[in-house]
Every structure is written in structure tokens, then in C-alpha cells.
Amino acid sequence: MARVLIVEDDPDICEVLQVLLSRSGHEASVAANGVTGLDAVTGKQPDVILLDLAMPFMDGVRVLRILKADRRFRTTPVIVITASVDPERLQSAREAGAADVIAKPWLDGQIEAAVEKTLRAARRSPGATC
């Protein structure tokens, strides 16, 4: 079981993600925007983060840059989940350190597979958090 933090401002998407992750045996918690997401990372110490890009108060790319600049969370894998099709924005997320980028709406099984793949990769990496 992994601790997954969902940073997403849409409550319906949060609910769906929580159900998917719970069915996969993971413990999922939610933060409703980038600011609360950064606060939650410290308290929850997630093994992986699912991060939306378009959120109020602070966008996902900025959150990702802050996380990757912090030595405590540098190795915590972040999967970006976004409705954005802007190639520059998607590239910014990758350059900021996203482990994976998933488009909304995602395909059946895609979230679960991405989380498992990301967790496996993190476990093989030196300094992994999970």
C-alpha cells in the first residue's frame, strides 16, 4: 500500500481518483489546490502525488517546481493529470520534474497503471521515499 496525495480542485475528480486508488490498495488523501497541497505534503508524506495543472491560488507547474527544489520532497514522484493540451505547458511540467503526464479524461486503468509504474521506479531509485 502506498500513500497517495491527490492535489486537484475538482471534487468529482478527487472522488473518482480516491475510489480508483482505494480499490488498488492505496491510501489516498486530497488537497483542493496547490497551496493546501504543499501544506499536505509535509503532513502526509506521500509516496506519490497526483497533481492537476490548472488550479486556483497556485498552478501545478509552480507546485511541482517548489516540491522539486525542496530536498525533503525532491525524490517524491509526481504524476501530472491535466486537461491541458498546450504543448508548452505539458513540456513545462515534464521539465519541472513530472514522473508522468496523463491527459484528462484518462483511459480505464491508466491511473492505476501509472501509479504502480511510478512506485516501482521510485523503489528502484536511490533515495526513494517509498
Q: For 107, how many CA atoms within 13 A lie in the half-sphere containing its CB?
A: 4
Answer whether residue 129 is part of any domain.
Answer: no
Scan for cell 505547458, then name that residue.
89
62: domain CATH number is 3.40.50.2300
Q: Report the DSSP pairing between strands 78-82 and 48-52.
A: parallel
Answer whether residue 67 is part of any domain.
Answer: yes
- Whether this prediction's pTM lies above 0.75 is answered by yes
Domain extent at residue 103: 3-124
pLDDT digits (tens, 9 = 90+) for 85-122: 888 888 999 999 999 999 999 999 999 999 999 999 88
Please enumerate in sequence order all residues whose Cβ is within 8 A of that of 50, keeping only pairs 6 or more positions apart, or say none: 4, 5, 6, 7, 8, 17, 78, 79, 81, 111, 115
Residue 129 has pLDDT above 80, yes or no: no
Rounded (10°) CA dihedral 47, 51, 55, 56:
10
Domain count, the chain: 1
pLDDT digits (tens, 9 = 90+) for 24-78: 999 999 999 999 999 999 988 999 999 999 998 899 999 999 999 999 999 999 9
CB 46 within 8 A of CB 31: no
Answer whether residue 31 is part of any domain.
Answer: yes
Answer whether residue 7 is part of any domain.
Answer: yes
Answer whether residue 95 is part of any domain.
Answer: yes
